[in-house]
């Protein structure tokens, strides 16, 4: 995949990290790289540049990253947002920002182009360090456990719909479901709509309530 048309904005308080991003990205032909080591008017700066992707440090000092993500959905709607985490354990809180992707700040340089390609092509990304954390130890407790669907419901759903129905009933949001199943949030919404038609419910919450009425937690 050619990255020449892609522009990147990096928000991080470390000048070393910013320089590292520039070096790695230039190696892959990405020349339009903007950065900021302060949260001052960050949303405005990103909105002015309208980058393809924003790498946003979750705990940038004096910054409400969750609010920035929300603001940029209006100010820079085409910009995909990847939250960078200093600690994988921050993922449990950061996931609620509903960003497009999550990556460890300590990731290996060869992971960056994979993250960029994934965000551009399918709209989501979970870094390997975070994925590893989620499958082991403390990370496994971040999400509520799956639920067992009623057999009547199971027979109506496709295999993918069953996966999404289980996660939806367990309380996962669309961003988390999409990242976990490596599909876009739009795809998750379509599946939920289809599930709703099969179980006789309209709207995400109504679908979840109908599933909960016919399920039991494992």
The domain that holds 198 is classified in CATH as: 1.10.10.10
In this structure, are 121 and 42 located in the same domain? yes
Count of the separate structural domains present in the chain: 2
| Same domain, residue pair 126 and 194 | no
Same domain, 22 and 56: yes
Q: What pLDDT is attached to residue 171? A: 77
| Cα–Cα distance measured from residue 93 to residue 95, given in angstroms and rounded to the nearest whole number | 6
Do 71 and 158 fall within a single domain?
A: no
| Torsional class of 15: left (φ above 0), alpha (ψ -120 to 50), beta (otherwise) | alpha
Tell whether 35 is covered by a domain.
yes
- Determine, yes or no, domain membership for 179: yes
- pTM given for the model: 0.65
Q: What is the CATH number of the domain that holds 87?
A: 3.40.50.2300
Question: Do 169 and 158 touch, CB atoms closer than 8 A?
Answer: no
Residues 81 and 125 in one domain: yes
Residue whose tokens read 């909960």: 212
If you compute the radius of gyration of the chain from its CA atoms, what whole number of angstroms results?
A: 19
Domain that holds residue 102: 7-137
pLDDT digit string (tens) for the chain, length 218 residues: 677 789 999 999 999 989 999 999 888 888 889 988 877 788 889 999 999 999 999 988 888 888 899 899 999 999 999 999 998 888 888 888 889 999 999 888 888 888 999 898 888 888 888 877 776 655 655 555 555 677 777 788 998 998 898 888 877 888 778 877 878 889 999 999 999 999 889 999 999 888 887 654 44
Same domain, 114 and 196: no
Report the alpha-carbon distance of residue 196 to residue 138 in Å, rounded: 33
CA angle 170/178/13 to nearest 5° reads 105
Does a structural domain hold residue 63? yes
Q: Is the CB of residue 87 less than 8 Å from the CB of residue 115?
A: no
pLDDT score for 137: 58
């Amino acid at each position: 995949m050619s990255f020449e048309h892609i522009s990147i904005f990096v928000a991080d308080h470390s000048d070393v990290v910013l320089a590292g991003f520039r070096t790695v990205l230039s190696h892959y032909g990405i020349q339009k790289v903007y950065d900021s080591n302060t949260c001052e008017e960050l949303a405005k700066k990103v909105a002015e540049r309208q980058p393809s992707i924003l790498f946003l440090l979750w705990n940038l000092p004096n910054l409400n990253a969750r609010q920035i993500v929300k603001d940029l959905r209006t100010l820079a709607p085409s910009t995909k947002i990847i939250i960078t985490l200093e600690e994988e354990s921050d993922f449990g809180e950061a996931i609620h920002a509903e960003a497009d992707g999550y990556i460890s700040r300590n990731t290996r340089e060869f992971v960056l182009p994979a993250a960029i390609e994934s965000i551009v092509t399918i709209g989501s990304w979970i870094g390997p360090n975070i994925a590893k954390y989620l499958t082991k130890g403390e990370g496994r407790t971040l999400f509520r456990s799956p639920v067992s669907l009623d057999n009547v419901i199971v027979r109506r759903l496709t295999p993918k719909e069953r996966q999404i129905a289980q996660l939806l009933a367990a309380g996962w949001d669309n961003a988390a479901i999409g990242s976990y199943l490596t599909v876009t949030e739009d795809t998750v919404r379509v599946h939920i709509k289809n599930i709703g038609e099969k179980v006789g419910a309209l709207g995400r919450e109504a679908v979840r309530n109908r599933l909960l009425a016919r399920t039991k937690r494992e």
